[in-house]
Amino acid sequence: MLPGPVHVAPVIDADALLDLVRPLVMVVDGDGTVLAARGGAGGFMGYVPSDLVGRNVLELVPGHEQHEVAGYFVELALAPVTTARLPIPFRSVMLAADGREHLIDVIPTAIPAELGVNGWAVVVVPLAMEAGASRSLDAELAGASRQEVKQLLTEELELSNGEWVTRWFLVDLVPPTAFTVVSSRAGDFGLSEPVRATFASGWTPWADGSTLETLLEVESVPEPLCSAAVAGGWQVVGASPIVCDGNVVAALVRMGRVIDGDKEVVARMNVLSRIRGLVEVTTLLYGRWRERDRLVAAATTDPLTGVANRDAFHDELAARAGRCAVVYADVDRFKDVNDVFGHAVGDRVLAEVARRLEGASRPTDMVARLGGDEFVVLLDTDDERTARRIGERILDAVSAPLAIIGGPPHVSVSLGLAFPAPGIDVVEMADRAMLAAKRQGRARLVVG
């Protein structure tokens, strides 16, 4: 039997192989000086790896992280060789060439003494290169604000290298933040407003019901986003709906372009699995926020009228720190409404009174129901003239004819106005002023 063909393993140039690695691989001496740097295929945060040689690694770390990073390596230098050889990877922050901060995973390995170098081989992997969208979830669990978490969502899959560029935008589509846009960086190429305006005009690129990314050539995107994208050299636009409880609550928008290439390359890139993961994380976060909002609303809202309840009012009063005014409102002869027309009609009257109180107030004021037929309006002003003017608007609004079937033709309210002062209970003072308005004939405003 003749022997089979002999397979000779090719000789691999280790340096050339390292240059194909996406993470950054550095040799760092005991003082933190970079002795060698390879990898970073396709670009690494704006750096050419060879240009990092001779720099101290702490120059690449923002000031607020330098002490911790330096302390980590000092601790390793003092550890036994068996402990330092394979230290536990850690998470840190690296400054990109443009000065932006990026979260990174640092994987250090101590170099054996027999190799003649006192230091470490360090692999740096930006979290944006990792498969999962973890930063935003970590930030949410750590108590970051929604705005901060949304910012991280737009940075999870942001890419900029020698081959292609992507930028992300997150658009809220339901009140109270409908059509607000968060972008992956402050200098968003002038696209945030066109993205907002295009969605505000009713654009729904996923009208076929698909929850996967809809990828479009920029020429097929509606104005004003089309013109802005073309002017910026973008080639494709991807839009992914975020669906909670059967409703589209937000959208992730991806802008893409290839450097000196065909836009079809971007369309064929195998990115759908990562985008699907980002959509799943975003959906999870929006669901969490919506549930939290429902719980907060249940705890702070009057269930009959939809305005704030007593607890929410007192919390807001304390937060205003004195720069405010309180209008105490009581529906005149409301017992007669219940007795003559029934409690169901009385409830509708209270809901309508609450609506009119809100309509006569300003967006920065708060309307709350204390209980029964008693309301308060917390005014965002300490100017008596302004407060009186709002009070007069309330009197006119509430006394206008009602359109409640089977109910009274109209109702009125008596108002008491008071301002915070040291040593007094402003709500009690406004209540006393309201009672004085009742004694003076009702349907009027008295200042306490």
Neighbouring CB atoms inside 10 A of 220's CB total 10
Which tokens in the block code for residue 167?
């930028």
Helices vs. strands in the chain: H and E counts, helices first: 14, 16
CA 328 to each of CA 305, 427, 431, 447: distance values in angstroms, whole numbers, following the listed order:
16, 7, 6, 10
The pLDDT, as a whole number, for residue 267 is 46
Specify whether the CB–CB gap between 173 and 179 falls below 8 A. Answer: yes
Cα-trace Rg, the chain: 32
236, 288, 245: which is closest to 264 by C-alpha? 236
The pLDDT, as a whole number, for residue 188 is 66
251, 131, 115: which is closest to 182 by C-alpha? 251
Task: Give φ, ψ of 123 to 5 degrees.
Answer: -105, 130
> Would you tell me the crossing angle of helices 343-360 and 334-341 to the nearest 10 degrees?
140
The pTM of the full predicted model, rounded to 2 decimals, is 0.66
Q: State how far the Cα of 445 lies from the Cα of 367, in Å rounded to an integer.
A: 17
The pLDDT, as a whole number, for residue 39 is 92
CA atoms within 13 A on the CB side of 303: 4
Domains and CATH numbers, the chain: 14-129 (3.30.450.20), 135-297 (3.30.450.40), 310-447 (3.30.70.270)
Question: 263 in helix, strand or coil?
Answer: helix
Residue pLDDT tens, the chain, 448 long: 556 666 666 667 778 888 888 899 999 988 889 999 999 887 788 899 999 999 999 999 999 888 888 877 776 666 555 555 556 788 888 998 888 888 888 888 888 878 888 888 999 998 777 656 677 888 898 899 999 999 989 988 877 765 678 889 999 999 989 999 999 776 666 899 999 999 999 999 987 777 788 889 999 999 999 999 999 889 999 999 999 988 999 999 999 887 665 555 544 455 777 888 899 999 999 999 999 999 988 899 999 999 999 999 999 999 987 789 999 999 999 999 999 999 999 999 999 999 999 999 999 999 999 999 999 999 999 999 999 999 999 999 999 999 999 999 999 999 999 999 988 999 999 999 999 999 999 999 999 8
> Residue 61 carries which DSSP code?
S
Which residues sit opposite 257 in a β-bridge?
165
Chain centroid to CA 299: 23
In total, the chain counts a number of residues equal to: 448
List helix spans (H) across 207-261: 225-231
Q: Which residues contact 212 (CB under 8 A, 6 or more apart)?
A: 240, 272, 276
Q: Write out the E strands in 30-99.
A: 34-39, 90-95
